[in-house]
Structure 1
């Protein structure tokens, strides 16, 4: 069974990710009978039937797809994946941050695709809490990389106050 990093632990991944094969349409794809992250197009085309199946539901957003398409369905989704099709494509950072801050999504946000160790800290700052690393990456090393920085200057999803607002009047840093 594949493994992922979730909430700073390495765990078994019980979800599969569905992708459409060439020539397949959202209406024609066969839906698995197990927890699956569905492409946004499949969810939008078949949401009522999928929800009626009473399986845990997850949707993944490609880098060019915004979370506003899921705004009315967030309470139905256990997991939302955000795809990083290549290391240099950062659009999914914005999707994760919007899900947490604008839409107040409390469920799991999972990084998918070309996920590498040196991105995890920044992904966590944007609200991503689960990471499906590339198969050639070491999960133990990646997990250690999440603790590289003990403090941050800027406000983000994981720390809404900037450092200067966290400093007490005596000049000693607050935890």
Structure 2
């Protein structure tokens, strides 16, 4: 995917050599497939699950991927519009309830103003809209680095954290 940022050891970094691409019906390595296609590709066709990501649409229930979650290297959650926040809830569920440890990527209408909240919901990479500046988007991740409330990224609320730790 083009125009992608990743959090590498907590630092926002452009992913210039990112191999992943959206292709909901694809067969090639590093295709991010819709959930039904991923199941077919891996379970019936015998593809290596580590070479295929899963795309969840806003109407998809994250519970569907629960049984396979340890085999999925990347889950992309689509934001069809910046006004549609269902992927925030999906991200939080995938990280906190289902224990997803892989790359959780925001795709679609992803803008600078959303990135800080996306990080706190558990996203680890962001396919920023191609008409937006990646350098400017990196600044969006620093805008609200410290938050008072607990989140997926920072489970302890501010008043419980040590002065030096956050």
Give SS of 1:110's match: strand
| 2:27–2:41 contact (8 Å) kept in structure 1 | no
Bigger Rg over Cα = 1
CA distance in 2, matches of 1:152, 1:136: 29
Partner of residue 36 from structure 1, selected from 28, 31, 41: 31
Unaligned runs of 5+ in 2: none
Unaligned runs of 5+ in 1: 20-28, 168-172
User: Residues 62-111 of structure 1: CA distance to partner in whole angstroms, max 9, x if unpaired?
Assistant: 01112100000011111000000101000000110001000111000000
Query: What does residue 15 of structure 2 align with?
Result: 11
Query: What does residue 108 of structure 1 align with?
Result: 103
How many residues matched? Answer: 159
| 2:29–2:52 contact (8 Å) kept in structure 1 | no
Query: What does residue 23 of structure 1 align with?
Result: none
- How far apart are 1:174 and its partner, in Å? 3.6
Moved beyond 6 Å, runs of 4+: none
CA distance in 2, matches of 1:109, 1:150: 19
Give SS of 2:54's match: strand
2:7 corresponds to 1:2 = no
- How far apart are 1:149 and its partner, in Å? 2.3
- How far apart are 1:150 and its partner, in Å? 3.8
CA distance in 1, matches of 2:5, 2:41: 30
Partner of residue 55 from structure 2, selected from 42, 55, 60: 60
Higher helix share: 2
CA distance in 1, matches of 2:44, 2:5: 31
| 1:57–1:76 contact (8 Å) kept in structure 2 | no
Query: What does residue 74 of structure 2 align with?
Result: 79
